[in-house]
Amino acid sequence: MIKKYYILAVISFFLIPAVSLWGGMIFNSINPEIAVHTNNYVRNYRLLDLARNASLLAAFFVIIGLWILTCFFLLKSKQQSYRWLFLALLGPFGFIILTILRDNAEEHWDLYRQFVRRMNVYLRVAYELCTVFIVWNLADQLVVLKRNLMIKYEAAARGVSITQIINEQNASGGMWAFSEGLEFLYLVVLLYLLWPICFNLTGHLLKLLRPVRRKDMTRPD
């Protein structure tokens, strides 16, 4: 009940945080200062520092590639022209436009496609605006929930008060704001990707349960 290329789009997007963590782990594991124990400190320091920065750069380019693949597979699942791929440059905002594009794939089981195809222009515009509002607010609430849980976890792990953790985060507010901004944008795209899947699975589950309910209602006492 899920298109092959749509699954590939979801997988590509799920790999983005994994690659980000991988790049960060490699970056932190390389310490150029260990060159002090070698014969040629200056040269070895520069090589280690170069490798350290190259790991972040490589992770960045892989993330860009995965993002383009996500948009590419989404277009392929909709059988849309690849000319729309330039919208990937707009990030999550371009991705939202890609999700709104007409789905030309004829799949009889795709209840979500049938649902949006029944709408006229005005109803579709209202629906998409409501979706943006709900997804935006839900992503924001998830970021806030994650922040509160991480504060409680870190306070318990370090044996300090929650107030101290909050003060430490406020001291580096710019870094935390940037990190949460990326998490928010990631969640927006993720929710847009998962929504048609959840819609189809729920719709087919209700279809399966409906005959059972009818049998139960018609069964004699």
**Structural domain that includes position 191:** 120-221
Contact predicate 83/178, CB 8 Å: no
Structure token digits, residue 104: 């030309």
112 domain residue, yes or no: no
* 150 in the same domain as 56: no
Q: Is the model's pLDDT at 218 over the cut of 70?
A: no
115 domain residue, yes or no: no
Mean of the per-residue pLDDT values of the chain: 86
* 213 in the same domain as 172: yes
Proportion of the chain above pLDDT 70, given as a percent:
93
Handedness of CA 15, 93, 183, 32 (dihedral sign): positive
Domain stops at, among 49, 74, 105? 105
* 78 in the same domain as 35: yes
Domain stops at, among 58, 76, 105? 105
Q: At what angle do helices 162-171 and 173-218 cross, to 10 degrees?
A: 120
Proportion of the chain above pLDDT 90, given as a percent:
42
Can you tell me the mean pLDDT for 104-119? 84
pTM of the model: 0.83
**Main-chain dihedrals φ then ψ at residue 30, nearest 5 degrees:** -95, 115
**Main-chain dihedrals φ then ψ at residue 209, nearest 5 degrees:** -80, -25
